[in-house]
Amino acid sequence: MAGHRRRRGWLAWIGVLVFLRLADLSFVALSPGRRAVSAVLPGPGGAGVRHTTRLRARGDVAAAYELPPLPFDYDALEPIIDKETMKFHHDNHHNTYIQNINKALDGQERPALVELQKAAIQSGTAIRNSGGGAYNHNFYWLGLAPVGRGGEPSDKLAAAIKEAFGSFDEFKAKFEAAGAPGARFGSGWVWLVVKADGQLAITSTPNQDNPLMDGVEGTPGIPILVCDLWEHAYYLKYQYRRPEYVKAFWSVVNWNQVNAWYDDAVMGKAPMAEASVSASA
């Protein structure tokens, strides 16, 4: 009887060990290939706080891009950008680009969105418009912060701006001019980029194009700042007054994030601008 109890005890322990081993193998099988991306979001007093989000494995064809949540509340950018515009812009327009790029890549590998950008124009309308729209909007939200919470340009970035444009005021004036209806007729974006030679430049792109795309109109480069010029980004509050919206944009720039992107860009690294990806199709 004692020997029987001992055998039962050993069998129970073996069962526990097998279970733990299988559980460990299941965890390990899910873990390789997962990546992390971080973004600098405004913290207390305007200090930059780096937040990290896990991404799916690059080769996981079952994974679908997911609409990332805003890094702030819908009303956090008021009075510059109103709550209704934020909800409409993020929940409807941005979400449509996410859904459409998932449809375009159904059954195919879905790499990080930034990896789609280089060949987007040559890849056809779906990748160019939907992939570009998903990336551009992810980038735009991360580059915004509530009034007084976005920090200031770093010393390195401020020096680069002065070298390229003469002064910070001249930089803002040229950026605003590039985003005016006469310069960018219709929908598009105005960007601050780091060129291949490491110098800063202002450029504008139509529709959902961006400066990472080969063959793009304007100046190619690694983007570090953008203002969305599509009417849905500002029309509920500013109506036809796009220049007023672009001028107000400076109050909600997340310079903490722009500084981090600038540091990466001078090393040749483009922003991931990808907050989250779902684990299922």
Domain ranges of the chain: 1-31, 35-265
What integer pLDDT is reported at residue 243 of this predicted model? 95
Is residue 57 within 8 A of residue 32, CB to CB? The reply is: yes
CB 125 within 8 A of CB 233: no
CA angle 207, 144, 187 (to 5 degrees): 15
Residue 31's pLDDT is what? 26
Please name the helix (run of DSSP H) or strand (run of DSSP E) that holds residue 54, with its range, or none.
strand 48-55
Q: What is the pLDDT of residue 186?
A: 81
Q: Which fold has domain 35-265?
A: minor pseudopilin epsh fold (3.55.40)
pLDDT of residue 63: 81
The span from the CA of 32 to the CA of 56, in Å, is 10
Q: Which amino acid is at 90?
A: H
Give the separation between CA 253 and CA 144, rounded to whole angstroms.
5
**In the prediction, which pLDDT does 26 show?**
27
> How far are the Cα atoms of 96, 164, 180, 218, 280 from residue 200, in angstroms, in the given order?
32, 6, 20, 14, 39
Cα–Cα distance, 89 to 85 (Å, whole number): 6
Per-residue pLDDT tens, the chain, 281 aa: give them.
544 445 555 444 444 333 333 333 222 222 223 333 444 544 434 445 443 333 333 344 448 999 999 999 999 999 999 999 999 999 999 999 999 999 999 989 899 999 999 999 999 999 999 999 999 999 999 999 999 999 999 999 999 999 999 999 999 999 999 999 888 888 999 999 999 999 999 999 999 999 999 999 999 999 999 999 999 999 999 999 999 999 999 999 999 999 999 999 999 999 998 753 333 33
